[in-house]
Amino acid sequence: MFNKINFKDLIILLLIAVIFIIAFFVIKPIIIPMIYGILLAYIFYPIYKFFLKKIKNKNISALIVCAGLIIILLAITFLIFQNLFSQVINFYLGIQKFDFTNMAERLLPKFISTSQISTSISGYLNNYISTMIEDFIKIFKDFIFNLPIIMIKLFVVILVFFFSLRDGEKGIEFLKSLSPLKKETEEKFFTHLKDVTNSVLWGQIVIGIIQGIVAGIGYFIFHVENPLLLTSITIITSMIPIIGAWIVWVPVDIYLFATGNTGLGIGLLIYGIVVVSTVDNIIRMLIVSKRTKINSVIVLLGMIGGLFMFGFLGLIIGPLALAYVVLIAELYVKNNVKEGLVFQPSKD
């Protein structure tokens, strides 16, 4: 039977638990936009620090970075609505008229192209691309229908982005104050944590986006049809380990050769090999230290699992989560965590 003091303690614990549960359900609908805001703050924090050194005002510095990001987002949105949708429609109409059977017969070996295989391949490709375009149009319709909710979530992203920039250091210090580790082990752990985060965000996401944009520039230079659509697809594939940008630009180059654009095909081939395929290594060498590299298998599995669990954001959350687990396991094996815990018996 509980005495009076224990009963009061139990009531307080229950109230605290209820408050945390309510708080969880309050932020649950906006947890994804909040994570986006935090990740953006992490990526743009060096820019914020640059302005802070010049202006010496946290609010104004964070406001400048936020305003710059909003302008970039508005420009990208305008570009997408103006060009991408029309390019998808034109691409779809062009696919309906394109003779895949003739292309397969020209590219495949003779013993295959003369059989029913070429016809089957062309039919499959036609159906697959048609389904993909229809899905894109459905996503576009859903986007328009849910625009008010999307605007609210974007507001949450910007709000969290602003305060994460301004008060990010205080937040990290608060997390450190909750750590049960010794000071030396704590510093080592947070240093490794920062290295892992840099490796995933810069090494996979940001560099993948840059590589996709570089490939897109090649599409414009060599007059590839629907360059904006292909650039968007290349950006996504560039962020995924093993797959990469080549899975888009190589078929595009084959298409140029198959349609008789030999000069453009040779140009894109050289550009793809010399520029697109090497730009990630150059940028990675400049902004990501070799010691922060994460095993590609971990990143790939994290992206796949994260994509199923969290959607597009899972491409970032998934590999980060797995990398953090590996980091904690490695530290434990080295006894850094085990010996660093400050949970010690009371001397009383």
pLDDT tens for 190-218 read: 777 777 777 777 777 778 888 889 998 99
d(C-alpha 114, C-alpha 96), whole Å: 23
d(C-alpha 222, C-alpha 265), whole Å: 8
d(C-alpha 83, C-alpha 77), whole Å: 10
Tell me the residue type at 186: E
The per-residue pLDDT for range 307-320, each reduced to its tens digit, is 788 777 777 788 88
The per-residue pLDDT for range 99-152, each reduced to its tens digit, is 655 655 565 555 555 556 656 666 666 676 667 667 767 777 777 788 888 889
The per-residue pLDDT for range 89-102, each reduced to its tens digit, is 666 666 666 665 56
DSSP labels, 233-295? HHHHHHTSTTT-THHHHHHHHHHHHHTT-HHHHHHHHHHIIIIIHHHHHHHHHHHS-GGG---
pTM of the model: 0.64
Q: What angle do CA 292, 174, 70 make, to 5 degrees?
A: 70
d(C-alpha 274, C-alpha 251), whole Å: 17
Q: Do 68 and 60 contact (CB within 8 A), yes or no?
A: no
